[in-house]
């Protein structure tokens, strides 16, 4: 059985690489015979990091060949189907799905976060393509509501959870993470992690955040900046560091997804913009404070009964202080994360059902 995977893979984005690892590992628990082929931005790096065969996502001949031989296309997870980043990326991912359906292959939207879809053309594409796929699993209710609004009714749709909740770091991941932290400050200290990204509509938040981080550093916390999308987030991390008067540290290397998770497990709190910085935190039972640049971030925080951070100094500092003083918040995060893990496993079981139906159909010919 051969499964092709289409997503934002091969770009050193820790969240998307974690999704790839989570999807393939959970499906392999159901069958060790599955062969995966990844459509990647850097096929050689994907093969190195994940031990999976990969082809260039921009090579049409390779993509068509792999889809022709495939038993299933998985599109996802993550925020592929949105037009905020660019309409071009939406057209690409929908185009891969349309090609698979043209070749009469089953398609699963795997734990997708749908939207925002602000343009009429984007909604038109989603209506026509999503109604042709074989299964849609979603990571949040907002995505379900958007699909209903657009008129997607034909495929089975189930709200589950982000696949990353099924990932667990190994001993070597924890050892590497601990070594990195000890290279910064040998003694054990309470640590606050920070994951930021550049986002023009939030211009000015950097000064407020830097002031709050200075206060936390003065209270004895060590501040560690964690660029989750290594190539794109480093500049913003350095900007926060330059605005601070107190010492802070930057993870100046690209880590594996499970190494990032292990690193975050040592934190008292994660302050994050990137959704998967928050998901990594929650999966490790670490409380988090979300800086919301996108509805998906706010929705995730609210699913843990947490509020996104206000972007003025007084309210931001007050809410972070509240989280740090709340002795029960860690247990509440752990309990909710366990619930999410169980839901996340449903993605694999439901997808396996589509794959089995395909095999039965092939045998019946």
pLDDT tens digits, 234-276: 999 999 999 999 999 999 998 999 999 999 999 999 999 999 9
Reported as a single tens digit per residue, the pLDDT across 275-322 is: 999 999 999 999 999 999 988 899 899 999 999 999 999 999 999 999
pLDDT at position 365: 60
- Given a cut of 80, whether residue 364 has pLDDT beyond it is no
Same domain, 20 and 154: yes
Angle at 129 between CA 126 and CA 133, to 5 degrees: 120
> Cβ(224)–Cβ(251) under 8 Å?
yes
pLDDT at position 22: 97
Q: What is the CATH number of the domain that holds 33?
A: 3.40.50.2000
Same domain, 108 and 255: no
Percent of the chain with pLDDT over 90: 91
pTM of the complete model: 0.92
**Residue 34 domain-assigned?**
yes
**Residue 166 domain-assigned?**
no
Same domain, 136 and 110: yes
Same domain, 45 and 188: no
Task: Give buried/exposed letters for 261-281 (b at 16+ CB in 10 A, else e).
Answer: bbbbbbbbbbbbbbbbbbbbb
Same domain, 12 and 153: yes
Same domain, 246 and 150: no
Peptide bond into 38 cis (omega under 30): no
Reported as a single tens digit per residue, the pLDDT across 152-179 is: 999 999 999 999 999 999 999 999 999 9
- Given a cut of 90, whether residue 194 has pLDDT beyond it is yes
Dihedrals phi, psi of 328, to nearest 5 degrees: -100, -10
Count of domains observed in the chain: 2
**Residue 344 domain-assigned?**
no
Angle at 300 between CA 294 and CA 304, to 5 degrees: 145
Reported as a single tens digit per residue, the pLDDT across 102-115 is: 999 999 999 999 99
One DSSP character per residue, 139-178 reads SSHHHHHHHHHHT--SS-EEE---GGGG----HHHHHHHH
**Residue 361 domain-assigned?**
no
**Residue 360 domain-assigned?**
no
Q: How many beta carbons lie within 10 A of that of residue 103, not counting itself? A: 13
Same domain, 175 and 152: no
- Range of the structural domain that residue 258 is part of: 171-339
**Residue 45 domain-assigned?**
yes
CA 335, CA 240: separation in Å to the nearest integer? 32
Domain boundary residue among 132, 159, 186? 159
Which tokens hold the place of 41? 């931005």
Residue 360's pLDDT band (boundaries 50, 70, 90)?
Answer: confident
One DSSP character per residue, 47-100 reads HHHH--EEEETT-HHHHHHHHHH-SEEEEEEES-S-SSS-HHHHHHHHHHHHHH
DSSP summary character for residue 200: G
Same domain, 201 and 261: yes
Which tokens hold the place of 258? 């499970």
Same domain, 321 and 205: yes
Domain boundary residue among 159, 179, 212? 159
**Residue 346 domain-assigned?**
no
Same domain, 124 and 257: no
One DSSP character per residue, 262-299 reads HHHTT-SEEEESSHHHHHHHHHTT--EEE--SSHHHHH
């Amino acid at each position: 059985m051969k499964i092709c995977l289409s997503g934002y893979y091969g770009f050193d984005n820790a969240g998307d690489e974690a999704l790839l690892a989570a999807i393939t590992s959970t499906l392999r628990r159901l069958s060790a015979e599955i062969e995966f082929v990844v459509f990647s931005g850097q096929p050689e790096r994907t093969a190195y990091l994940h031990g999976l065969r990969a082809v260039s996502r921009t090579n049409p001949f390779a993509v068509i060949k792999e889809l022709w031989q495939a038993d299933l296309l998985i599109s996802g997870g993550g925020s592929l189907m949105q037009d905020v980043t660019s309409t071009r990326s939406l057209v690409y991912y929908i185009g891969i799905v349309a090609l698979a359906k043209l070749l009469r292959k089953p398609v699963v939207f795997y734990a997708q976060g749908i939207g925002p879809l602000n343009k009429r053309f984007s909604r038109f594409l989603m209506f026509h393509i999503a109604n042709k796929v074989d299964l849609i699993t979603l990571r949040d209710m907002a995505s379900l509501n958007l699909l209903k609004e657009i008129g997607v009714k034909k495929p089975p749709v189930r709200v589950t959870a982000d696949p990353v909740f099924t990932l667990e770091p190994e001993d070597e991941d924890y050892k590497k993470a601990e070594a990195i932290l000890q290279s910064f400050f040998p003694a054990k200290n309470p640590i606050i992690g920070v994951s930021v990204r550049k986002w023009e509509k939030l211009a000015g938040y950097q000064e407020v955040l830097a002031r709050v981080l200075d206060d936390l550093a003065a209270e004895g916390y060590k501040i560690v900046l964690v660029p989750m999308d290594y190539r794109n987030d480093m500049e913003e991390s350095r900007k926060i560091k330059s605005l601070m008067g107190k010492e802070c540290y930057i993870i100046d290397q690209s880590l594996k997804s499970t190494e990032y998770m292990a690193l975050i497990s040592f934190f008292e709190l994660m302050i994050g913009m990137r959704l998967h910085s928050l998901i990594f935190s929650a999966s490790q039972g670490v409380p988090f404070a979300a800086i919301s640049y996108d509805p998906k971030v706010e929705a995730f925080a609210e699913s843990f009964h947490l509020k996104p951070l206000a972007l003025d100094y007084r309210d931001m500092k007050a809410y972070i202080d509240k989280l740090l003083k709340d002795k029960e918040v860690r247990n509440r995060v752990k309990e909710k994360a366990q619930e999410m893990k169980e839901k996340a496993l449903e993605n694999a079981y439901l997808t396996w059902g589509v794959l089995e139906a395909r095999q039965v159909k092939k045998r019946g010919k």
